[in-house]
Structure 1
Amino acid sequence: MTPATRPPVPDAELLRLDHQVCFSLHAASRAFGGVYRDALKGLGLTYPQYLVMLVLWEHGSQPVKTIGEQLRLDSGTLSPLLKRLEAAGLVRRERSTEDERSVTIHLTPAGDELREQALPVPRRMLAATGLTIEELRTLQSLLGRVTSALDEA
């Protein structure tokens, strides 16, 4: 049966919590958060801090604006997070001499060294999902499509 020939689902049925994709994503996100909390404890990072470090480990020094765009975080959320990473000695902030509104984030040697300790985290998370790497890539692709569609809606 194709989606076009499938009988319509009654509106009342669509209001069930277990039919809400957004709730499934929310529940999965919270579950991920719990596992990440344990996995990152030894690194001294929160999940949002880990995401910032991933961007810096992958791309090197980045303007705050670019980090915010990559992580979909506004400056009100990102700035305090970066200050905590700086206080922990993992990053340093440097204001641009050309445009004092622009701040670039650089890894410190300690932040760079933390990358080695973080290497087991992705495999631990993969194992925790119970999915194969192929299944996880398919899920990631589907979520990317959903995100793009929602951004356009």
Structure 2
Amino acid sequence: MANGHELERWLRLFCYADNYHFGTLWMLKETLLKRECPGYDRGSTRLGHPGLSINRSSVLSLKDTIRMLIGISLPYGRSLAVTGVRKNSPPEKKTFFNVMRPVAVCPRNFFHLSTAAAEIERNDVKPRLDDKEYAELEALLHHRKGGGR
């Protein structure tokens, strides 16, 4: 277990340096998803899934959460199609982010601690949605909240 001082340093760096806000793309390790998502496939042998932040507020403490949508390979329900998310995939290959079941992650899941590796890593292939995808995500979430179209 990391000590309080190490976690506090990571939190300050995280708040200063990482852009974890709405529309940023990440890679979520399977261990995190198995632990944090009720009903998640416990027998999965995948390494992880893309994650899409829908967080609009700032992180102020280690107990704050960041909400992310989990990327899947096939559309399911109301979902956002995003291209170019995975390394070694054709640029037109789509990843679908369904709005039904976001996962809430903590800042410490982003940290490389002396006792554990980070369970969330920046998506270096595509760090954020393009303008069109961003607008589509806004509309999708607005519709979900009952804003209609």
For normalisation by structure 2, the TM-score amounts to 0.26
Question: Going by fraction, where is strand more abundant, 1 or 2?
Answer: 2
For normalisation by structure 1, the TM-score amounts to 0.25
Larger radius of gyration: 1
Question: Going by fraction, where is helix more abundant, 1 or 2?
Answer: 1
